[in-house]
Amino acid sequence: MIKIQTFNKISDKGLNLFPTQYYQVSSDCTDPDAILLRSQSLHDMPLPNKLKAIARAGAGVNNIPVDKMTEFGIPVFNTPGANANAVKELVIASLILANRNICTGWHEALSLKGQDVPTQVETIKKQFTGTELQGKKLGIIGLGAIGVKVANAACLLGLDVIAFDPHITIKNAWQLSAKVEQASSMNAVLGQADFITLHIPYTKHTHHLIDENSLKQINPHSILLNFSRADIIDSTAVINALNNNQLSQYVTDFPTNELLNTANTLCLPHLGASTVEAEENCAIMAVNTLRRFLETGEIENSVNFPTVNMPYQGGVRFCIVNRNIPNMLGQISSTIASKELNIKDLINRSKKDIAYTLIDVEDANVDEALSLLKQIDGVINCRKLLPNDN
């Protein structure tokens, strides 16, 4: 049995894809082969002995100690794009909510209970006059799956869109509306936009990307939206900017106590990907990715491992994780040859410090070769598979 430990609410549409004759899936399983989760933090969790993979049903992987997993040769997967539409819709909704002062107006309307409500609403409404999106400028930092969808939707709403992403992929560039203006720097976006939305992952490089200095570039009438991660923005600097009228409103999916106590914030409880459709899409994609890795050794959508696809050629498949250093492949193939095993197919790919090799060999008697492969200096882990035979 392959054991999968789950954390958080994972849609049954995905979980039901694990065949019950081969997989045991539960939230309280011990010594799992793989972990499937959403936002649960694994930073303080001891590493289970048999752990082979972690799949994040969602985009952000800052809750997973990715560097540590890489050191132990464990791939971390995510589901890029699977919840992008849900986030896009919430970003657009929040833009309208904030720009038309809908939440504050609604709150005030509720406070009229028991009074002459029809008369009172006509009196109070002047406090909540908003502006329209059409013709205003939306600045986007990050054109991944979500940023591109937000950009395209904003263009359709009549906004002018300016965006910055020095690492945009060819696939995302193809999907981006030709109307989107390309900015040469983040500050060019901050300085021109009426609304600014961030769609980048949280890493040590994006920690407090928006800080006191960058907030000074922003027009005081601007609204800043954060549906990415809390610490991409220095919230103390944002609170100061709001209090000093250097920023008009801050919309965030990652509230803190201080933000909840600050005027002109719109705080949501991390709802970006919380739709039935997104939860299903993420769970299905995560389970399929995980099964593929566990059953065939192939890798797709990993944040720390290279993409590796190799159709199964029969016989036994070795899946070898090794350090990305010279002469690993030479040692691996001569070890296999030393046991007189014929290689039918082989693929080797690397990503930064890690390399991953799949080798299909003809013969079934491979255990000695497997134990020798594990002893090669630089091999981090190695397993054998008979794909489609769990």
Selected from 2, 53, 59, 186, the binder of ligand 3PG by CB under 6 A is: 59
Asked if 273 touches ligand 3PG (CB under 6 A), the answer is yes
Q: Which is nearer to ligand 3PG, 246 or 274 (CB)?
A: 274
* Cβ 110 to ligand 3PG shortest distance, Å: 28
Q: Which is nearer to ligand 3PG, 4 or 59 (by Cβ)?
A: 59
Q: Contact with ligand 3PG (CB under 6 A): which of 256, 274, 324, 350?
A: 274
In b/e form, how buried is each residue of 154-181, taking b as 16+ CB within 10 angstroms?
Answer: bbeeebbbbbbbeebeeebeeebeeebe
Kindly report the backbone phi and psi dihedral angles of residue 305, in degrees, each rounded to the nearest multiple of 5, phi listed first.
-120, 155
Select from 5, 18, 36, 38 the one that contacts ligand 3PG (CB under 6 A).
Answer: 38
Number of residue whose CB is nearest ligand 3PG: 58
Among 106, 61, 73, residue whose Cα is nearest residue 204: 61
Q: How far apart are CA 28 and CA 38, in angstroms?
A: 16
Q: Which is nearer to ligand 3PG, 86 or 369 (CB)?
A: 86
CB of residue 204 vs ligand 3PG: minimum separation in angstroms? 17
Distance CA 225, CA 131 (A): 17
- To the nearest 10°, report the CA torsion of 257, 262, 267, 269: 10
Question: Is residue 142 a contact point for ligand 3PG (CB under 6 A)?
Answer: no
Q: What is the DSSP string of 252-294?
A: ESS--HHHHTSTTEEE--S-TT-SHHHHHHHHHHHHHHHHHHH
Taking CB under 6 A as the binding criterion, the range among 12-20, 53-61, 135-143, 148-156 that sits at the site for ligand 3PG is 53-61
| Residue span binding ligand 3PG (CB under 6 A) among the ranges 56-64, 65-73, 188-196, 293-301 | 56-64
Residues that bind ligand 3PG (CB under 6 A): 38-39, 58-60, 83, 270, 272-274
